[in-house]
Amino acid sequence: MKKCIEFLDGISHKINNILQSDNFAVEVMPDYLREEVKRYPLAGGKKLRPALLAASCGILGGKPEKFLEFATAVEIWHNWTLVHDDIIDCDTFRRNQPTAHCRLAEVAATKFDLSKADAFKYGENMAILCGDLQINWAYNLIIKGQQKSKISADLTLDIIRKIQQFGAIKLISGEAVDVELAVKKLENITPAEVMKMIDGKTSALFQCSCEIGGALALGTFDDFRIQLLSDFAQALGRAFQLQDDLLGIFGDVNKFGKNIGSDLREGKPTILLLKTLQSASCEEKAFILGCIGEKDLQLSQIEEVKRIMISSDAYEFVNNEVQYYLQRAKEYLNELPENNYNDILHELLEYLVNRNK
């Protein structure tokens, strides 16, 4: 694991330097909006997408150091989706800090002496604009990357097309389907729909990052190795998300704390939950549905749900899926050149999928 952790740390450090010195937002007004545009990206996170871009570049013989602006662009892309997603989900905390709309609401409450409701609306309004700025910042970093790395303007336009295909159409559709699934009745949701959502919300930007990294190394997207990188990234995204769903209920309570059971409490339509409801007995089904929306979910209730998930074979089904996509991802990597970056991606895969098990 050492190589991959060092690589992630190194990328984080370099991306943070670019984020700190970048002048995109320097003329943004008011000042607290300008600060908010940079706060999220600088607040932490694994910088996973930049790492995927850099390693994909390296695996095909490119020099990742030359393309840090592109790596920063995919991180900013990820960030605007978080800012808008947090408004959508009414989330209040991320990365141990208030979410963008909550922070901006705090600013407004202090600065303009607003009521709580007015400050909340103000925070949401500003956070919509914050995400809008970040979308444009990501595009701007791509243009800056071209200037600095001297790649052709044509390849730059291809990179922009790639961002639009994966980062806009697929990713935003994934978000929208997620919004829709949240209001649908669980019995009307199919596992295929959930997988489509995972492909959009998680895999699309992984794929985009890997493809761009590879294309920066080769000078073109038109190469079978770019497709291998993309397939690797899709399998990684699926394994990662399905594992996340498992950890959401089977994870170590000492590590995940209150988050254990929160998917269940919110009735999040995971494949794990849908499969369980399909195979469980009527009584078991009623028990699980009773847990949804339960504010004070007890550990004993979670234990019972875990038992049902195991006895209904849903746990095994999802676990098999995780292992299947993990295996697929490894196979794609094995078809790519063997080198230090390939080792790093193998480690990253294990690190992300088997983390905190």
Residues that bind a second copy (CB under 8 A): 24-25, 27-30, 33, 80, 84, 87-88, 108, 112, 114, 118, 122, 125-126, 128-129, 131-133, 135-136, 139-140, 143, 146, 152-154, 156-157, 160-161, 164, 167-170, 172-173, 175-177, 179-180, 183-184, 196
Cα–Cα dist 345/330, whole Å: 9
Closest separation in Å from C-beta 221 to a second copy:
14
3-state secondary structure 278-316: HHCCHHHHHHHHHHCCCCCCCHHHHHHHHHHHHHCCHHH
Residue closer to a second copy by CB (options 28, 260) is 28
**In the complex with a second copy, which residue's Cβ is closer, 88 or 310?**
88
Q: Find out whether 159 and 219 touch, Cβ atoms under 8 Å.
A: no
In whole angstroms, the minimum distance from the beta carbon of 187 to a second copy comes to 14
CA distances 343 to 60, 215, 357, Å, are 13, 20, 22
Nearer to a second copy, 180 or 335 (CB): 180
CB of 315 to a second copy, least distance (A): 29
- Is the Cβ of residue 160 or residue 310 nearer to a second copy in the bound state? 160
In the complex, what is the shortest distance from the CB of residue 137 to a second copy, in angstroms, rounded to a whole number? 8
> Dmax over Cα atoms in the chain, in whole Å?
64
Instruction: Please report how many Cα atoms fall inside a 13 Å half-sphere around the Cα of residue 312, on the Cβ side.
Output: 24
Comparing CB distances to a second copy, the nearer of 29 and 282 is 29
Instruction: Rank residues 155 and 352 by Cβ distance to a second copy and give the closer one.
Output: 155
Instruction: Report the alpha-carbon angle 124-137-70, nearest 5.
Output: 135
Q: How far is the CB of 40 from a second copy (least distance, A)?
A: 16
Least distance in Å: CB of 139 to a second copy?
6
DSSP tag of 199: I
